[in-house]
Structure 1
Amino acid sequence: MRQAAFAIPGDIATLTGGYIYERCLLHGLRDLGHDLTHIELGDSFPMPSAAHMEHAIETLAALPPDRALILDGLVYGSIDTAGLARVRAPIVAMIHHPLAAETGLDPATQAHLFKTERDNLALATRVLVPSPHTSHILSTDYGVSPEKITIARPGTKRPSLPHTPSDPPRILSVGILHPRKGHDTLLQALARMTDLDWRATIVGGPHDPAHAKALATLVETLDLGDRVTLAGRVAQEDLDPLYAQATLFTLATRYEGYGIVFDEALARGLPIVSCATGAVPQTVPEGAGLLVPVGDVPALSAALRRVLSDPETRAAMTVAAQTAGAALPTWADTARTASSVLNAL
C-alpha cells in the first residue's frame, strides 16, 4: 500500500459535505492499510493569509518524494503555483468543484482563482473528483487530461432509524448558511404555501455570518417564524432523527459539484426537490426528484406543493428514491477507488 499524506485546511470535523467526504476517505484509506498522515493546514483557504500560505508551502515541500500527497481542493485551487511546484511528492488533487464556480465572487477574484487552479492542476499527477460533472468541467475548461481524472463517488451510510414521517409533514433542507445553498429562495417559495399544513427545518452552520443573519431576518419578514426552524449546525446523531421524520428533502442550491446530502436523502427514501444545476441532475435520479431552474421561486414552490399535495406522486418518488438509495456506494467503495489511484502512482 502506497504511503501518503492528506492535507486538509482547518478542522476536519467541520460539518460540510466536502469535509465529511475527506474525513471518511482518510479513515477508509487507513482501514485498507495505507500509512496515511493527516496534515492540518490553515483554515483561511481558499483566501489564505500570508502566514497560512507560507506554512502550507513549507509543509508540503518538506514531504519526501516517496510519500504521495492528496491535497484538498480549497488549498489546491488557491495555493501559490510556484510554491506548489516545490513539492517533490507526487500530487493527487482532490477537487470537489472548481473554486471559480463559487457563488458571489467578484470578477477579479473569480479570474484569479480560475487561473491559479488551472495552472496548479497542470502540476497534479492524478485528480480525484466526486462526480462526472466535475470531471467534465476540469477536462473541458481547465485542460486536465481525462486520463488523469478518477471519479470517486461519495459513499453513503445506511440509515440507522426507521422512516417515521411527522404530522404535519416536515420539509427538511441541509446545507451551510451560504448564498450558494439557496435558502433564501426556499424561504420565499415556502411563503407561497402557507395555505398548506407543513413545517420546515433548515440545518446548516453559519458559514457566511452576514447571510445567516439575513436569512433569520427573512424568516421574520415572511412571517414564517412559527413554521420554519433555522436549526444551525447539527451533529450527525441529531440529524438522523430529522431525516427519519421528514416527508421530503429540498435544497434550492445554486450550484453543487456533487451534493452528499442528496445521497443521504435517497438512502432514506425521501422525495427530493432541488435545482437543475451542476451535478444535481446526475446525482438525483429521474423519478426520485423534481428539479427546477435556479432561483425560480414560483417553480420551486409549485414542486414542493406537488409533492406535499399529491400522494401518488409522493409515493412514486419515494419508491424511486428507495431503489436508488439501496444501490448507492459505501465509503469503503470510495476508499477502494482512491486506493487504486495511490497504488498506481
Structure 2
Amino acid sequence: MSLRAMHFVMPGGVDDPTTPSGGNTYDARVILDLPAFGWQVHKHAIQGSWPRPDADARAELAGTLGEMADGTVVLLDGLVACAAPEIVMSETERLRLVVLVHLPLGDETGLSPELAAELDALERRTLRAVPAIVATSEWAARRLVAHHGLAPDRVHVAAPGADIAPLAPGTDGVSRLLCVAAVTPRKGQHRLVEALATLTDLPWSCVFVGGLGQDPEYVAELRALIAQHGLGDRMHLAGPQAGAELDASYASADLMVLTSYAETYGMAVTEALARGIPVMATDVGGLPEAVGRAPDGGMPGILVPPENPAALAAELRGWFGEPDVRRRMKAAARGRRAALDGWAATARSLAGVLGRLGRDARKGAA
C-alpha cells in the first residue's frame, strides 16, 4: 500500500519524558498508528511556550507552514494552532488544515479571567477558519460546537485508545490509591488530600504519579498541605513515570482516583480500566465518557462532584467499608476493560477525517 503524506505540527517537548501528558501520549501514538491507515506522517515540533508563544515560535510556525506545498494535508495540535490564528488563517486557502483540540485553551485552570478570555477568543478565530476540527471526546465535540458556534459537520471525534494490559493484582484489594495526573491546579490533587485527611482512621496510602515541573508553586502548596495534615508517611509524590515504572504503579493500585476540574476525556481513567482497576473521578467534561459502562451496564467507577472534598470522602469511606461495592466495581472494571477500543480505532477515525480533506483537495484541483 502506498502511503499518502501528511504533516503533523505540534508543540516541542512531546517526547520529553519529564513532562508526560495525555495530549503528548495521544500525539505520539497516532504518529505510530496512522501509517496502518494509509498516511505517512511528517512531524514538526514547534519550540516555544505554547499557548503563549514568543516571536521566534510564531516565526517558526509561519515558516514551517509556508514551506509546505499547496494542497498539503496538515494536522495541527490545537495548543499551537489556536494560539496563532493569524498564521493559520493565512494558510487556509492553500493548505488542507485540521486542528486537533486536546483541551480548549480557556479551560486551563489558574488563568486570570482576562487571559482566559483572550485565549478563548484566539481559539474561536482559529476553529472558525479551518475546514475540520477533531475533538478527543463526544463531550468535547459538543462543547466546541456550542461554545464557538461551529457547524457540527466540521467537528469530528477521535477518542483516545487504550492498550489492554495485564490485570492489576493490587495491594490488598482496598487500600492502595493511585492518582495519575500532572500535578497542576486543574487536576485538583489538593481536593484528594483534603478528603483523605478526614479518613485517617482507615488504612490507606496514596501515590501521586505525574509531572512536577509545570506549576512548582502548586507542587509546593500541595506538599505543604500534606505536611499540614500529617500525611507525609501515607502520601507520596512520585513524579513522572513511564514504561515499566508506570506499569508497576498501576499493578499495585486498588483504586484509581482522579479529581480534575476539567478534562476533555481522561486517558488515565482508561489506562486504569485497561488493567481492571476501578475508578473514582469527578463528574466533569469527558470523564463520564471515559469511565463508561461495562457491556452488562455495570459502573466500573464512581463519579463525584468537583470542588467537594466531603462528597469525595464519603464515597471513599464507602469504598473502604463496603465489600459489595468493591466487588461490583471490580467486576464492572474488568468488563469495561474487555470492551475498550485500542489506538487503532483512534487512528482510523483520524485517518477518515484526513482522507475526506484530501479528496476535497483533489476535487478542487480538478
Scaled to the shorter chain, the TM-score interval is over 0.9
Misfit runs of 4+, over 4 Å: none
Q: Distance in 1 between matches of 2:148 and 2:243?
A: 35
**Which residue of the other structure, out of 138, 146, 159, is the alignment partner of 1:153?**
159
Q: Which amino acid aligns with 1:114?
A: D
- SS of 1:320's equivalent in the other structure is helix
Contact kept, 8 Å, 2:167 with 2:276, in 1: the verdict is: no
The yes-or-no answer on 1:218 pairing with 2:231 is no
Contact kept, 8 Å, 2:48 with 2:54, in 1: the verdict is: no
The normalised TM-score by structure 1 is 0.96
Q: How many residues align?
A: 343
The yes-or-no answer on 1:83 pairing with 2:84 is no
Contact kept, 8 Å, 1:255 with 1:278, in 2: the verdict is: yes
In structure 2, the partner of 1:178 is 184
Q: Percent identity?
A: 34
Q: Which runs of 5+ in 2 are unaligned?
A: 294-298, 358-366
Q: Distance in 1 between matches of 2:48 and 2:342?
A: 28
Q: Distance in 2 between matches of 1:182 and 1:103?
A: 10
Q: Distance in 1 between matches of 2:167 and 2:124?
A: 45
Instruction: State how 1:62-211 maps to structure 2 within 5 Å.
Output: 62-79=67-84, 81-87=85-91, 88-159=94-165, 161-167=166-172, 169-206=175-212, 207-211=214-218
**Which residue of the other structure, out of 3, 6, 12, is the alignment partner of 1:4?**
6
Contact kept, 8 Å, 1:2 with 1:67, in 2: the verdict is: no
**CA RMSD between the two structures:** 1.4
Contact kept, 8 Å, 1:259 with 1:283, in 2: the verdict is: yes
The yes-or-no answer on 1:252 pairing with 2:259 is yes
Q: Distance in 1 between matches of 2:328 and 2:215?
A: 37
In structure 2, the partner of 1:34 is 39
Give the superposition deviation at 1:222: 1.2
Contact kept, 8 Å, 1:2 with 1:68, in 2: the verdict is: no
**Which residue of the other structure, out of 230, 236, 242, is the alignment partner of 1:235?**
242
Give the superposition deviation at 1:236: 2.5
Q: Which amino acid aligns with 2:222?
A: L
Q: Distance in 2 between matches of 1:306 and 1:77?
A: 43
Contact kept, 8 Å, 1:201 with 1:229, in 2: the verdict is: yes
The normalised TM-score by structure 2 is 0.91
The range that moved more, 317-326 or 59-68, is 59-68
Give the superposition deviation at 1:53: 1.5
In structure 1, the partner of 2:317 is 305
Q: Distance in 2 between matches of 1:71 and 1:256?
A: 20
List per-residue Cα deviations over 1:30-49 (Å, max 9, x = no partner).
34341210001013101111
Q: Which amino acid aligns with 2:198?
A: R
- SS of 1:257's equivalent in the other structure is coil
- SS of 1:135's equivalent in the other structure is helix
In structure 1, the partner of 2:15 is 13
Contact kept, 8 Å, 2:209 with 2:238, in 1: the verdict is: yes
The yes-or-no answer on 1:322 pairing with 2:334 is yes
Contact kept, 8 Å, 1:3 with 1:66, in 2: the verdict is: no
- SS of 1:344's equivalent in the other structure is helix
Give the superposition deviation at 1:62: 2.1
Contact kept, 8 Å, 2:168 with 2:277, in 1: the verdict is: no
Q: Distance in 1 between matches of 2:89 and 2:192?
A: 43
Q: Which amino acid aligns with 2:177?
A: I
Give the superposition deviation at 1:313: 0.2
- SS of 1:6's equivalent in the other structure is strand
In structure 2, the partner of 1:289 is 301
Q: Distance in 1 between matches of 2:226 and 2:150?
A: 43
Q: Distance in 2 between matches of 1:133 and 1:163?
A: 29
List per-residue Cα deviations over 1:245-298 (Å, max 9, x = no partner).
111000111010111011111111112111111111222125212111111011
Q: Which amino acid aligns with 2:59?
A: E
- SS of 2:186's equivalent in the other structure is helix
In structure 1, the partner of 2:275 is 268
Q: Which amino acid aligns with 1:221?
A: Q
In structure 1, the partner of 2:361 is none
List per-residue Cα deviations over 1:299-340 (Å, max 9, x = no partner).
111111211221110110111111112111111111111111
Give the superposition deviation at 1:163: 2.0
Contact kept, 8 Å, 1:61 with 1:86, in 2: the verdict is: no
